[in-house]
A and B are shown apart, each in its own frame.
Chain A
Amino acid sequence: MALEENKNRKMQFGNPYADYEYYGKHSKRTWPSMVVGLLFGIGLCYFAWYRWHEINMAEVMGGTVSLTSIEWILYKVGGKWILSGILFLCGVGFAYLGVHNYRRLEKMKVEG
């Protein structure tokens, strides 16, 4: 999408000029955003599983687990599945955004 078109979009997230700012040869790379997105997304998915496992163990074995206030609200509303589910979805979302951005830049590389 050309900058002029991008500038006129009703909704703007972040820097609309980001794709056009050239800092050096590394600006031509399309993969860094994908790597960051995937790493962050996979990390979040692992954290979701870890939290689920921790809470599950506490529920089964009768131990205690420390939760933040937001986690506590989510746990009270929908149990460990909601809590871990939201974290997992966020992780998937980040990974998707990383891949989406990579594909968008690759498309831009070809089409301009």
Chain B
Amino acid sequence: MFFYYQIRNHPHKTVAVPEITCPLCHTAGHMEMNFMQKYAWVFGPIAPSGKFAMAFCDHCKNHVPAVRWTDEMDTVFQLHKRELKTPRRLYRGLIVFPLAMVAIVGAIILVTKVKGNKQQGNQALVKEAIAHPRKGDIFQINQSDGTNTNYTYFKVASTRGDSIYMYPSTVHLTDMKDMKQWDEIPVADDAYEKTPIAFSIKQAQTSDMFMYNTQPTQYGIVWSLYRDGQLYKKY
């Protein structure tokens, strides 16, 4: 992982310090000190670092290396440094970045919660639809015999007591790539077989799937409900 950042300099002030003698050319009256501060930059200032100075002699036109600074220069440096205050804007990143992180995490939690609430509502509706099916309701079914799985639909024909009669669809999708196509619910009668199959409502309520009375056992997991032109997905 690469993390791109810059180290920038914030110029504080430049002061003439004629009382200082240049340690390079030993001439007094030509020295100046440039006070600066480093800070990290990622889309804006993040964290300021320590304040420093660069000394320049206008006589010999040289900057003084840090190892050549005299005690006299250090005293002047400390005096001026004490007056300098780090601008508040240099701390901006320390506030913005945590806030941005909180906002991103908060947004993810919010979206997950809203999505979860919607799914919970849909799950309750599908449960209710299994308990009290309406003629014309279409269930999106993940059908399996334990080995082979396909994606199909059951259309409610009628109910009698604990039995629900449904027309199985002639459409059987086998590839997960066709999931988008699976959501295109076939409403027309010719997409369904003519003979309805009976399932137990009680069993469907307890196991959340329609069980066939066949051997080996075949079952259809209820994935969603299509009612009044709208698809209510459980997941």
Contact = CB atoms under 8 A, between A and B. Distances in A.
Interface of A: 2-4, 15, 17, 19-25, 27-30, 105, 108-109, 112
Interface in B51-75: 51-55, 61-69, 73-74
Contacts of B64: 20, 112
A23 B52 contact: yes
Nearest to A21: B52
- For this complex, into which size category does the number of interface residues on chain B fall? 20 to 34
Contacts of B77: 22
B66 A21 contact: yes
Contacts, number: 62
A105 to B, nearest CB: 5
Contacts of B51: 23
B133 interface: no
Contacts of A4: 61-63
A19 B50 contact: no
A28 B65 CA distance: 9
Interface string B62-94: 111111110001100110000000000000000
Interface in B215-235: none
Given A3-B62, A20-B55, A112-B68, 19 more contacts: A2-B62, A2-B63, A4-B62, A19-B66, A20-B63, A21-B53, A21-B54, A21-B66, A22-B52, A22-B69, A22-B73, A22-B77, A23-B50, A24-B74, A28-B66, A28-B67, A109-B68, A112-B62, A112-B64
